[in-house]
Amino acid sequence: MKKNIFKEKKILITGHTGFKGSWLTLWLLLKGAKIIGLSKNINTRPSHFQLLNIKKKIKHYQVDLKNLSKIKKIINNSRPDYIFHLAAQALVKNSYDNPIETWSSNSIGTIHLLEALRKVKKKTFVILITSDKSYKNLELDRGYKEDDLIGGKDPYSASKASAELAIQSYINSFFSHKNNKVFISVARAGNVIGGGDWSENRLVPDCFKKWSKNRFVDIRNPNSTRPWQHVLEALNGYLILAKKMTIRPRNFHGEVFNFGPKNFDNNSVLKVLKKIKSFYPAAKWNIRKNKKFHESNLLKLNSKKAKKKLNWECKLSFSDNIRYVTEWYKSFYDRKQKINICKLSSEQIRQYEKIK
């Protein structure tokens, strides 16, 4: 992206304290945007958001999406130019333990945001982040396309698919009149990895937590394949989409985009581990199969639409993706370096931006 359209713009990021949200907040701060962050809590310890030490540089709201009146107030008062909606209960395993929290955050939470937007009279560009898991997983060996069926077996996937139904219904019912100023697109990315994630039951954080204590990590499904991509790849897609929406709002209103690895480049958990080990020899694991809860085996995203309409595609090779991730955690856990996290993450963003 050449021209910086985000400078001085007011940008609301929901889920700004989370893994992806904290990277997006930092990236947009580097671009000179004015950030309004809205999240329920600081959801991990350690937390990338806290380590970045950027709370004073943004307007920070600790608010639950379930609180409609507060969401309305924040949107009315802050009048953002852009909204990136990432807040969600984002973990499949947690969704089995807390289905009501998952449904209310992911589905009702998204509806509350849309409801709050109905009163907005100012031009606002909204990017709603759902998931590759919104697709009804038919275990097909082809990439899922944006117009494939949505659905989900576990509460997380179903709540994201249901949010998508609500989004399309709101667009058709409330954001399609000729004076409409609120432009909405949906972004579906696959599994993202990157430094600064400490969520439970995610491969990369689980591994580095154990390895930092010189322990083995137990691997549930070594042959599961996922569309692994670096967090900056997906965020770059969201930023390009926002830019395109700004230029041609009507062309992108109501559109859905997949953001997945190039050439359906899915790799197994085992391949990811072996690649990490090539950069980080202390990596070690045991295979312990566990079938306690349903996890889909195969999900590929077809991202041709993003390539064609946004000229977006992943820039990092599989190896560079894993190298970025490994270098980040290595720097963090190597205390001797007394690392400045904001500098470390900013440097990765700058490096990434330079890649053609």
For ligand NAD, the binding residues (CB under 6 A) are 15, 17-21, 39-41, 43, 64-66, 86-90, 105, 109, 129, 131-132, 189, 191-192, 199
Residue with smaller CB distance to ligand NAD, 106 or 249: 106
The label of the residue with tokens 């937590």 reads 209
Residue with smaller CB distance to ligand NAD, 15 or 195: 15
Cα 108 from Cα 120, distance rounded (Å): 19
Structure tokens at 180: 């409409």
**Smallest distance, Å, CB 214 to ligand NAD?**
26
Question: What residue is closest to ligand NAD based on CB?
Answer: 18
Strands 82-85 and 192-193: unpaired
Whether residue 231 contacts residue 162, with contact meaning beta carbons closer than 8 Å, is answered with no
Residue with smaller CB distance to ligand NAD, 109 or 249: 109
**Smallest distance, Å, CB 40 to ligand NAD?**
4
Residue with smaller CB distance to ligand NAD, 133 or 249: 133
Residue with smaller CB distance to ligand NAD, 132 or 154: 132
**Smallest distance, Å, CB 108 to ligand NAD?**
9
Residue with smaller CB distance to ligand NAD, 197 or 255: 197
**Smallest distance, Å, CB 137 to ligand NAD?**
14
The secondary structure of residue 335, as a DSSP letter, is G
**Smallest distance, Å, CB 234 to ligand NAD?**
8
Strands 225-226 and 267-268: antiparallel
Whether residue 295 contacts residue 221, with contact meaning beta carbons closer than 8 Å, is answered with yes
CB under 8 Å to 235, separation ≥6 — which residues? 20, 23, 24, 27
* Sheet with 82-85, edge to edge strand ranges: 59-62, 34-39, 10-14, 82-85, 124-129, 182-189, 256-259
Three-state DSSP at 190 gives coil
Residue with smaller CB distance to ligand NAD, 86 or 241: 86
**Smallest distance, Å, CB 224 to ligand NAD?**
14
**Smallest distance, Å, CB 80 to ligand NAD?**
16
Is the peptide bond between 99 and the residue preceding it cis, with omega within 30 degrees of 0?
no
Residue 92: closest CA among 22, 15, 31, 155: 155
CA 50 from centroid of its chain's CA atoms: 18
Residue with smaller CB distance to ligand NAD, 90 or 283: 90
Q: What residue ranges in 63-140 does DSSP mark as E strands?
A: 82-85, 124-129
Cα 150 from Cα 137, distance rounded (Å): 8
